[in-house]
Amino acid sequence: MHTYEIEIKTLLGNEENKNAFVTKLMGIDGVKETGSSSQLNHYFVDGDLEVVYASLEDILSDDKKESFRTLIEQGTSFSVRTRQMNDQVIFVVKASIDETTSENGISRIEFEELLDMTLVELDEVLIGAGFNYQAKWSRDRVEYQVGDVTVCLDRNAGYGYLAEFEMVVDDPNMQDDVKEKLYGLMSILEVEELDQARLARMFEYYNANWSDYYGTEDVFTIE
């Protein structure tokens, strides 16, 4: 069974805003810090997911094969990524289920699978299926849990500090109720959603200039 990711982003930018956000977050009853990681995320465009499926079919579990097939058949506007999270390598595909994009959208079908290969080896599978690099991203992440909401605090190359409010559900019909819950938590923390049009401009700029930012702490500002 595939899952549906409902995620809303807020841009914090600098360290002062990040510190104020963390102070408010840690003041919520029951909040827990659940982990941290350093990540490399490689985004891909073009290519054929059917060829990727054929390449990975023998190492995917039956449940994951079914989930991957359903996503290929039902999803639209795919975002294909490889990720190294500490020492783990993960294959990620997201497809939008609302009017936003698969790269940065609010509601998306999500497929993730931990694979026993290096990031370079997984990238080569995608390149062999006709994919090309769109951009390479680097970030440090701290995760928190507030009830059934996951809050990810990232320091992204290029973007600076960014927080993501996320829930993963099995039923796409739950997305409106989940969004209401996420917006409610954001209101308590006094942060606003990063406008989708601005996020798209930031994403486009980074993709055109990613080699200047990947693996650095440099930040740009796009209004």
> Per-residue pLDDT tens for 99-144?
544 444 456 778 899 999 999 999 999 999 999 999 999 999 999 9
Rounded Cα–Cα distance for residues 191 and 21 (Å)? 8
pLDDT of 102: 41
Give the domain 3-212 fold.
Hypothetical Protein Pfu-838710-001 (2.40.320)
pLDDT band at 213, cuts 50/70/90? very high
φ/ψ of 136, rounded to 5, equals: -115, 135
Instruction: Share the mean pLDDT of the chain.
Output: 91
Residue 200: what pLDDT?
A: 92
Q: What is the pLDDT of residue 171?
A: 81
Q: Are 215 and 138 in contact (CB under 8 A)?
A: yes
Paired tokens of 127: 């390149």
- What are the tokens at 107? 């509601």
Task: Give the burial class of 44: count Cβ atoms within 10 A of its Cβ; 0-12 exposed, 13-18 middle, 19 or more buried.
Answer: buried
- Whole-number pLDDT of residue 97: 62
The model's pTM:
0.80
Domain boundaries, the chain: 3-212
Question: Is the per-residue pLDDT at 207 higher than 50?
Answer: yes
pLDDT in tens, 4-40: 788 999 999 999 999 999 999 999 999 999 999 999 9
| H/E segment holding residue 94 | strand 88-96
- Please say if the pLDDT value at position 83 is more than 80: yes
Nearest to 61 by CA among 121, 116, 8: 116
pLDDT tens by residue, 42-77: 999 999 999 999 999 999 988 899 989 988 887 777
